[in-house]
Structure 1
C-alpha cells in the first residue's frame, strides 16, 4: 500500500449497489465521488464476460456470464483511481462472486462482491451458490481480513439472542429461509453482519422495498470476520444516491488498525504436570517419596499444623515426581499420555541413533518408529473423542444437563477471552491494568461486605425441628474416598496449587493422611484458613457492556482438598435440606433437572389453553442472590431446622474470617474480607442457598391459597367409567411457584392473584435481606384480553411476549418458532467451533466425527425437545439444518449428486 496514512485516517468505505448496464458507469462514477466512496461492490450488472473500464475517478472490474448466455446476474467492483496501486483483481470469478484483494500496510484485505439467489430460486441453485461461496472463504487465510459485500437476498432478522456471534442488537424484521442459511454460514466461519451492529434511524437500516407489499427490507449486507468487527465504524443506507436501481446504497465505514504488539504475560506459580499422573511407575514413585517425607517430618497437633505439613509435602513431592506443566498440549494427548509418551521417546531415540550413525538400517528403524507414533496418535485421538462422545450421550439420556454441557465445553476447547476498559464506580474509563485490578477489588469488596439481616419476626416464624445428632458422627475413610471419586479431573487448583488429578490418581497413598486432617478438623470444629480463602477470576456474562463490572461473574478458585472436605459435609447437609425443600424446588436435587421444569411449564400452558383459561406467569430475578445471603440469618436457620453443633460449626468455619484475592491479567491483588453470601464455588453453596430460599418461600406463601389448581381422577379402573365420574374421587393439587435454584416463576389464573403473590414475595425478600431485580423481572400472559399491570414497590413490571426460562424460550402464543431459532443458532455455533478440532482433524475417523456430531451438535440442537409439540414445517427446518451439517462434515457438495437418503 503506497498511500497508507491517508487511507487509514479517512477510513475505507465499501458499498453495495445494483446496476444494469455499462452506460451507467459514468453516472455511478459521479454518485460515488459525491458520497466519497473508496470502493463499491456492484450487483446484477448484467454485463457479459469479464473486463475493466476506467472512468474519470473510478475503475470498474466486472464478471458476468459468457457472451452467448442470457444477460443475467453479474457482479463488479468500482475502485477509486487513487487506490489502484494496491489493488490485485481476483483471477477467478463467476456471475455471482467476484474477489478483489488490497495490499495494505496492515496486511492484505480480500473483498468479495456477492449476488445470492433469490428466495424463489431452486434448492440446487442455492446449494451451488453457497458451495462456491464456501470455497472462496476457505481459500482466504484466517489471518487475513475478509469483507463480503452484496445483495444476499436474505432477511436475517433481529434475533440477537439466537445468533449472538453473528447478529448485533439492531437488526430488522424477521428471518426467512435464506436468512437462516446465511446465518449458519456466518456462524461456521465466524462472520458478523455489520448492518445489525449500529443503532440508526429505521429508514437507514433497509435497502429494498417490495414492489407489491411496499414494505422495506434489509437484503444488502456487509459481512466481516468477528475479529475485525471493532474496526467497523458505521453502516447505514443512503437512499439519496440515484442511479435508477430499486436497491439503495449501503455504506460501511472501516478503520484499518495497525498490527498489535504483544507483551509477555507475567508467569504465575508453577503448575504440576497432571498428564503424567496416569503412569503407574510415577504414581508408585510419588507414594514412596510421600511416605518417606511424612515419616521424617514432625506434624503439628492442630488441624492447621497437620494440614500445612501435609500440603507442603504433597506439593513439593508431586512437583519433583511429575514435573512442571510448561506448555498446554492437546487434551487427547494428556488423557492418553501413558500410551503416547513411550512411542514418542522411542521415535526420539531412533532419530538420535540415526543422526549418530546414518545407516540404511537406522533409517528404516526411524521410519518405522515415526509410522508407529502416527498410528498410536490416531488411535488415541479416536479413542478419546469416542469416550467423550459416549459420556455426553449418557449424560443427555439420563437428564444430567450439567454433565452434558460440561462434556460439550470440554469438546469445544478453551475460548479466547476479550478484554475491555473498565468503568470506575463514578463512570470514568480505566485503561491502566493496575488500576483495573484495583477496580475489581473495590467491586468485590463492596459486593461481599454488605451486611444483610433476616428479621427476628421471620426467624421466630420458622418451626424448630428436632436436632439430627447422627450427623455429628466422625467421617469415615469410605466417606472421604467417595468424595475424592466425585472430583472432576483437570480443574484449576486453588492457592495451594494441588490439582484434583493428584488426589484421584494417588488416592491410595493420600487417603489416610487426609483422613487424619479431616478428623482433626471435625474435633476442632474448624477448617484451616487456606480452605476458606478464595482466588477470584472474572468471567463475562455475554450480555451488557464489558466495561461494567456488574456484567461479570466472579468465579472462586478454592482449595481442592477443601472441596473434598466440603463434599463429605454436603452428604449430611442434604439430609437437612430434604426436611424443608418444597416440592416445587428442582435445583440441585437428585433425579430432577431443568428439562422437568420446562416440561411442567409448557404442559401448564397447553392445559390452560385446552381448558380456555388465562395464564399469568411472573419470572422473578433476584439481585446477586447467592452473594447477598445473610450469613448470620443462614446459620440461625440451620440451627432451627435441626443442624447438630459440630456440623454447624464446620459449615460456619468455611465462611468465617474468609479472605479473597482477585486474579486479573496475570496479577494478584492483596487479600480482602468476604463477609456476606454463601461461598461461591463451594459445593455447599447451592444446598445452603436452597435451604435459605425454601424458608423464604414458606414465609411468603405459607398461608396463600392463590395459584392454579389441578384436579385429577386417578383411582378408577380402566373400564369402570362410572367411578371416574364420581365427584368424591377427585385429587386436587396446587401449583403456585416453580423453582430451580434461584430461578423462580409464579403462576396464577388472574391478574389479582398474581399481584397478591408478588406482593407477598416482595415482603418476604425484604424480611430475608434479598432484593428483587425489578428491571429483569418480567410478566408473561397467555390468552388474556389486556396486558397485566403488576407492580412491585410502585414499579410496574415489564410484560413480555417471550422469555428464556432455564435455557428454553417460552412464548405467550405457544409457538416454537422462537425456540427453534435459538436452538439452530446455538447448534450452528457449536458446529463451527468444532471445525478445526474435529471436522478437519485428519487423525479422526468418520465414525468418530459422527459420534462427536451427535453428542455435541445434536444435543445442543435438541435441548428440551422432549417438551416440544412440533408441526411438520418445524421438523423440516430441523431436518434441513441436520442434513446441511452432515454434508459439511462429510465434504459432500451439490456436484456429488448425493441424495439426502444416502447422506443419512
Structure 2
C-alpha cells in the first residue's frame, strides 16, 4: 500500500479513513493510505424539468470527470431514483408541483455503493454510501431564499440539524447545496475559512451558527483562489450598468471537522454551462470506496424470451437434461432441490436479459450545440442566446420525432397483437412508467430514521407486533381423508398460472415450470402427493419475503405502507390445486350476500344490490339506516385457532386441514428493505398474504362471524318476506336496517362477535348514513361507546353513494375521472402520428373508467345528455376541433367514421346484465329478488321516480310486465317490472 507523510500546521484534522483527529494549530505527522480522488459537484440548475437539462448535466459531468453531482432546484415531482445512461439519479420533490426539489446524480461505478436513500422533503435528501473504513453520508439541500418567512428558514435549519445529529460521529458527513446565504470574507472560528466572498448577510449568520453548532467546516472558504473561482451565483443586475458586478458566494460544501483534510480543493467552474445563473462548485475529496460483492440473485431475467420457439426449445431440452435423474431420488426435498437447481441453470444460461442501451431522443447535434453554447458563455452573450434558441428548437424537433417513432411502434405492436408492448409504449409516452415513490420512515416520536439497520429493526418490530398472538397448538382429527392429486390437476393448475409474477425466496418462476414435459409433471405430481399425504411441507416453502409499498403520497409510518408477500411458485402451484377442492365447500357455505372472491360475482353485483335495493326502499318510503364497517387490518387479525375451528366445522378433508395447519403454524417471513433482509419473523395470526387459498379461508371465517352475530335477528329490510341486513365484498361490509334501533342492535351484535374472532371495528373510518325522503335528525349510532360519524356521501367499492340516492352525482364523478385519464394521455390522443382507429382502441381505456359500475346506474334524460356531451368532447379533442369552430356533432362523427357509442354500450351492458341475472336462477337468486321481489312500504303520492327497470322499458319501448324465465333471453317484449 502506498504511503505518504502529511505535515499540517493549518488547523486541519485527519482525512477520511484516519483513526482520529489532530490537535489544532500544531504540527502533526499522519500516515494515510493512498486513496482515490473523487470530484463531487454542487449546482443549482434552476430546473431539471426542461427536456435536455439532465443530458446537459451528464455531459458536463463527463467533461469535468464528476462522479457525484448534487442538484438544487431539481423540480421533479415525487421521490425516487432512475437510471439515465451511465448514471443513477436520486431525487426528492413535491408530490405534484414542479417547484424546489433536490437531487444527486451518481456515476454507475459508484452507484452500487449507495446503501440508503432518504428523501426528507423537497429541500433535503440524504444518500448513504459504503466506503472504507467508514461510510460517507451526503446531505443535499436547497435553502429557502430571503423572500421566505423567518419561520420557514429556521425550520429548514432545524431539519438539517436533526438529520446531522443522527449520523454517527465516526462517519463522514458532507452537507452541500444552495444555502442562499453569504458567509462573507474573514475567518470565523474553525468552521469558516478566510477566503470567503463579499459581506455576510442574515442568512449567512444562520449558516455560520449551524456549521459551528454541528462541528462542520465550510470547505469552499478555506482555499485561496481568484474571485472568479469563488462566486457561485450571478445576479440578474450583473452587467446591467457599466462596471456593475453583482456576484455572490451562496452555494457551499460542508464536511465534519474530523475529515476536513480529505477535501483537497473546492472551486467553481465558471466555464461549465447548463443555462443557469449559478456556477458549478466542485470539491475534490480523497476517498477509498468499499469493494462490494456482486449479488448474482439480482441479475435481471427476460422470461419473454420463451416466446421465441428456438429459445423455448433450448430451455426445455436443458431442463430435461438437468432433471433426467430425478426419478432416482427417493427424497422429496432432494427432488425439489434438483428442480430449483435446474431452473436456476436455465435462467442463468439462457434467460439473462440482454444488455440493451435504451434509445434516447437526444442527438449528437444537440449535445454539440450545448458544447458550443458553453464556449460562448463567458465572452459572447448574444451568440449564447442565439445558440440557446437553436437548442430549444432542435429539442422540440427531436421530441416530436421520438413521439412519431413510438407511435409507429405502438401501431406495429398492435398489428402483432402484442398487448404487452402496446401497454408499455403507451405508459412510456404518457409518463406513467415511473417506479413507485420512495418514502421515508419515522419512529413513534415523529423523527426520521436514517440508519438502515434501525429501519430494518423498526420494520421487524412492526411486523412482529402486527402478527403477534397468543396462539395455542391445534390438534387435527385423526381421520385423514382426501383423494390423491391427479396429473390432470397439476397440468390444469400449471396452465392457469399467470406469467410475470415476482418469485419467492427460492426464485423459481412459473414461466419455467410451464416447460416441464409430461414425464416430469408426473414426478411433480408424485412430489405433491408425498407432501399431501404426509402433511410435511418443505421448509423453504414456508418462508415468505415481504416487500413494502407506500399506500399514499408522503407515507411516514409503517402503517402507511402495504406489505406484499412473495412466496414460492412451487407452493403456489400446489395450493392452486387445493383451491379447486376447497372452493366447492366455500361456495356451498358462504351466504349470497358475500360477493367477494366468489366465482361469477364481483363489484358490479355488490354495487347493483346496494343501489337497486336502497332505491326501491326509498321509493316505497322505507327508511334505510346503514353503517359502512371498516375493520382494522381484517386479513392480518384472523386468529389461527379460531380459523382452524371454522375450517373443521366446514367439513373439509382431514389432509387439507393438516396442510393448512402446518402451513400456518410453521411459516416465517423476512422484510426486504433496500435489497437487505431483516431477521426471520414468526407469523402467529392473519391469513397468508399472496396465498391463493387465503380469500376462501377469509370468506369462511367472515361467514362464521356473521352467522353467529345475525342468527335469529329480526332486524333488516323485509324483502319477499325475508330479512336482508348486510352486503359484503370480502371485508367491505354494509349493515342496514329499517329503523335506527334495529341498526344499533345489529351493530352491537356484529361488533361483539367480531371482537371474539379477533376483528376490531375501526371507528374513525366506519361511517353511517340515513337514506330517506324525509330529513331525519338527532339519530346517533354508537359503537364501543363512541359516536359513529354520519355522512352524506360515502365511497363504496369505488362508487360514490349519497343519502339522496341521486345517481347523477356518481356519473359526474365518473366523467371527471375519465376526463382526467384522457388529459393524462392527451399526448397520444392529439398526435397526428397515430391513426384514428388506434386512438379509438386507446379510447376504450377511457370508456372503461367512465363506465365502471354502469350496470347499477339509473339514468335520466339529464345524465344521458351529460354522457353524450362528454363523448363528443372526447372526439373533438382527438380531432383538435374547438367549440369555437362551429362544427356540428354530425360532422365530427363523420370525420371519426363512427356513430355515438357511449349510450349504445350502456344499453347493451345493462340489458346483458339483466339477462345474466334472469338466466341463472340459483346463483343470482338474491339479485333477482332485489330486482323483482316485494319491498314492503307505501309508495308516496305524485309521479314515480324513474327506476332501474324503467330506463330499460323506456329504451326498448315496452310496457309489459310479463315475467321472464331463468332460461329466456330478455327481449323488448319480455322485460320484467
Task: Rate the CA distance shift 1:769–1:232 in 2: closer, same or farther, 3 A.
Answer: farther
How far apart are the structure 2 equivalents of 1:524 and 1:704?
A: 44
Please report how far the alpha carbon of residue 378 of structure 1 lies from its aligned counterpart in structure 2 after TM superposition: 5.6
Larger Rg: 2
SS of aligned partner of 2:324 = helix
Please report how far the alpha carbon of residue 692 of structure 1 lies from its aligned counterpart in structure 2 after TM superposition: 0.6
The equivalent position to 1:519 in structure 2, one of 529, 532, 552, is 529
Please report how far the alpha carbon of residue 540 of structure 1 lies from its aligned counterpart in structure 2 after TM superposition: 2.0
Structure-2 residue corresponding to 1:437: 456
Please report how far the alpha carbon of residue 686 of structure 1 lies from its aligned counterpart in structure 2 after TM superposition: 0.5
TM alignment of 1:456-605, pairs within 5 A = 469=481, 472-504=482-514, 511-542=521-552, 546-605=555-614
Task: Rate the CA distance shift 1:632–1:412 in 2: closer, same or farther, 3 A.
Answer: farther
Is the Cα–Cα contact under 8 Å of residues 631 and 760 in structure 2 kept in the other structure?
yes
How far apart are the structure 2 equivalents of 1:849 and 1:622?
A: 43
Q: Which has the higher contact order (CA 8 A, sep 6+)?
A: 1
Could you list the runs of 4 or more consecutive aligned residues of structure 1 that deviate by over 6 angstroms after TM superposition? Answer: 226-234, 254-261, 263-267, 327-330, 373-376, 407-412, 464-468, 840-843
How far apart are the structure 2 equivalents of 1:500 and 1:844?
A: 36
Structure-1 residue corresponding to 2:104: none
How far apart are the structure 2 equivalents of 1:232 and 1:821?
A: 43
How far apart are the structure 1 equivalents of 2:143 and 2:604?
A: 40
Is the Cα–Cα contact under 8 Å of residues 716 and 738 in structure 2 kept in the other structure?
yes
1:874 matched to 2:863? The reply is: yes
The equivalent position to 1:797 in structure 2, one of 773, 788, 805, is 788
Please report how far the alpha carbon of residue 269 of structure 1 lies from its aligned counterpart in structure 2 after TM superposition: 2.2
The equivalent position to 1:448 in structure 2, one of 444, 463, 467, is 467
Structure-1 residue corresponding to 2:951: none
Task: Rate the CA distance shift 1:380–1:285 in 2: closer, same or farther, 3 A.
Answer: same
1:826 matched to 2:817? The reply is: yes
- What per-residue deviation string (whole Å, max 9, x for no partner) do you get for residues 579-611 of structure 1? 321121111111111111111111122112211
Is the Cα–Cα contact under 8 Å of residues 381 and 843 in structure 1 kept in the other structure?
no
How far apart are the structure 2 equivalents of 1:608 and 1:688?
A: 34
Task: Rate the CA distance shift 1:589–1:313 in 2: closer, same or farther, 3 A.
Answer: same
SS of aligned partner of 1:418 = coil
1:323 matched to 2:313? The reply is: no
Please report how far the alpha carbon of residue 384 of structure 1 lies from its aligned counterpart in structure 2 after TM superposition: 5.9
How far apart are the structure 2 equivalents of 1:526 and 1:417?
A: 38
- What per-residue deviation string (whole Å, max 9, x for no partner) do you get for residues 86-127 of structure 1? xxxxxxxxxxxxxxxxxx9332599xxxxxxxxxxxxxxxxx
Task: Rate the CA distance shift 1:299–1:815 in 2: closer, same or farther, 3 A.
Answer: farther
Structure-2 residue corresponding to 1:105: 44
Task: Rate the CA distance shift 1:644–1:690 in 2: closer, same or farther, 3 A.
Answer: same
Structure-1 residue corresponding to 2:414: 382
Structure-2 residue corresponding to 1:852: 842
Report the TM-score when normalising by structure 1: 0.59
How far apart are the structure 1 equivalents of 2:144 and 2:503?
A: 42
Task: Rate the CA distance shift 1:105–1:409 in 2: closer, same or farther, 3 A.
Answer: closer
Task: Rate the CA distance shift 1:530–1:882 in 2: closer, same or farther, 3 A.
Answer: farther
Is the Cα–Cα contact under 8 Å of residues 814 and 849 in structure 2 kept in the other structure?
yes
How far apart are the structure 1 equivalents of 2:841 and 2:124?
A: 34
How far apart are the structure 2 equivalents of 1:627 and 1:329?
A: 42
Task: Rate the CA distance shift 1:301–1:271 in 2: closer, same or farther, 3 A.
Answer: farther
Please report how far the alpha carbon of residue 416 of structure 1 lies from its aligned counterpart in structure 2 after TM superposition: 3.0
TM alignment of 1:594-633, pairs within 5 A = 594-633=603-642
Structure-2 residue corresponding to 1:152: none
Structure-2 residue corresponding to 1:744: 733
| Number of aligned residues | 594
The equivalent position to 1:782 in structure 2, one of 767, 771, 782, is 771
How far apart are the structure 2 equivalents of 1:294 and 1:304?
A: 14
Structure-1 residue corresponding to 2:439: 420
Task: Rate the CA distance shift 1:743–1:376 in 2: closer, same or farther, 3 A.
Answer: closer
1:311 matched to 2:311? The reply is: no
- What per-residue deviation string (whole Å, max 9, x for no partner) do you get for residues 4-40 of structure 1? xxxxxxxxxxxxxxxxxxxxxxxxxxxxxxxxxxxxx
TM alignment of 1:37-52, pairs within 5 A = none
Please report how far the alpha carbon of residue 473 of structure 1 lies from its aligned counterpart in structure 2 after TM superposition: 0.8
Is the Cα–Cα contact under 8 Å of residues 715 and 737 in structure 2 kept in the other structure?
yes
How far apart are the structure 1 equivalents of 2:505 and 2:469?
A: 25
SS of aligned partner of 2:565 = strand
Any stretches of 5+ residues in structure 1 without a counterpart? Answer: 1-103, 111-139, 145-164, 167-189, 195-225, 239-253, 331-372, 393-406, 712-731
Report the TM-score when normalising by structure 2: 0.55
- What per-residue deviation string (whole Å, max 9, x for no partner) do you get for residues 530-552 of structure 1? 22221111122227x51121122
TM alignment of 1:74-473, pairs within 5 A = 105-108=44-47, 141=51, 269-296=298-325, 300-324=329-353, 377=409, 380-383=412-415, 387=419, 414-451=433-470, 469=481, 472-473=482-483
- What per-residue deviation string (whole Å, max 9, x for no partner) do you get for residues 731-786 of structure 1? x2321110111111111111000000000001101221211111111101122421
- What per-residue deviation string (whole Å, max 9, x for no partner) do you get for residues 49-103 of structure 1? xxxxxxxxxxxxxxxxxxxxxxxxxxxxxxxxxxxxxxxxxxxxxxxxxxxxxxx
Is the Cα–Cα contact under 8 Å of residues 616 and 780 in structure 1 kept in the other structure?
yes
- What per-residue deviation string (whole Å, max 9, x for no partner) do you get for residues 115-140 of structure 1? xxxxxxxxxxxxxxxxxxxxxxxxx6
How far apart are the structure 1 equivalents of 2:832 and 2:486?
A: 49
Task: Rate the CA distance shift 1:143–1:599 in 2: closer, same or farther, 3 A.
Answer: farther
Structure-1 residue corresponding to 2:703: 694
1:653 matched to 2:644? The reply is: no
Is the Cα–Cα contact under 8 Å of residues 453 and 632 in structure 1 kept in the other structure?
yes
Please report how far the alpha carbon of residue 273 of structure 1 lies from its aligned counterpart in structure 2 after TM superposition: 1.6
Please report how far the alpha carbon of residue 327 of structure 1 lies from its aligned counterpart in structure 2 after TM superposition: 6.2
SS of aligned partner of 2:582 = helix
Structure-2 residue corresponding to 1:89: none
- What per-residue deviation string (whole Å, max 9, x for no partner) do you get for residues 702-743 of structure 1? 1111100013xxxxxxxxxxxxxxxxxxxx232111011111
Please report how far the alpha carbon of residue 272 of structure 1 lies from its aligned counterpart in structure 2 after TM superposition: 2.6
How far apart are the structure 2 equivalents of 1:634 and 1:429?
A: 38
SS of aligned partner of 2:635 = coil
The 10-residue stretch of structure 1 (672-681 or 490-499) with the greater mean CA deviation from structure 2: 490-499
How far apart are the structure 2 equivalents of 1:787 and 1:899?
A: 53
How far apart are the structure 1 equivalents of 2:642 and 2:674?
A: 36
Task: Rate the CA distance shift 1:109–1:568 in 2: closer, same or farther, 3 A.
Answer: closer
Is the Cα–Cα contact under 8 Å of residues 660 and 673 in structure 1 kept in the other structure?
yes
Structure-1 residue corresponding to 2:805: 814
